[in-house]
């Protein structure tokens, strides 16, 4: 019973955090995404094989990765300086924008 309650609490926390991510402003994200287009493509689809597509990416994944680049937990010489100045709101907005693209 204790394990079931803990599992429900953990699942609830995931749902709450996923809803918080979904609160980003896609229009603001589109404006911020201009800098992303150089590597990830103007439409979120990269022409370069070493840069991932962002179009349709899951928002929670994007938030996690951008925050990891910003903090230095995830290392990349191209992404670190791009992510460093992003605020939490910027990250949520970018995630909302790219995840809304179909």
- What pTM value is reported for the model? 0.78
Using 50 as the pLDDT threshold, list the residues of the chain that sit under it.
Answer: 14, 16-21
Percent share of the chain, pLDDT over 90: 76
DSSP 74: S
Domains of the chain with CATH codes: 2-100 (1.10.760.10)
């Amino acid at each position: 019973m204790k394990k079931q309650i803990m599992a429900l609490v953990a699942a609830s926390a995931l749902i709450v955090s996923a809803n918080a991510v979904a609160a980003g402003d896609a229009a603001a994200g589109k404006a911020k995404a201009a800098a992303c287009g150089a590597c990830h493509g103007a439409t979120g689809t990269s022409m370069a094989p070493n840069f991932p597509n962002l179009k349709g990416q899951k928002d929670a994944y994007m938030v996690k990765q951008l925050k990891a680049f910003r903090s230095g937990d995830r290392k990349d010489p191209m992404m670190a300086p791009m992510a460093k100045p992003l605020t939490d709101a910027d990250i949520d907005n970018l995630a909302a924008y790219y995840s809304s693209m179909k």
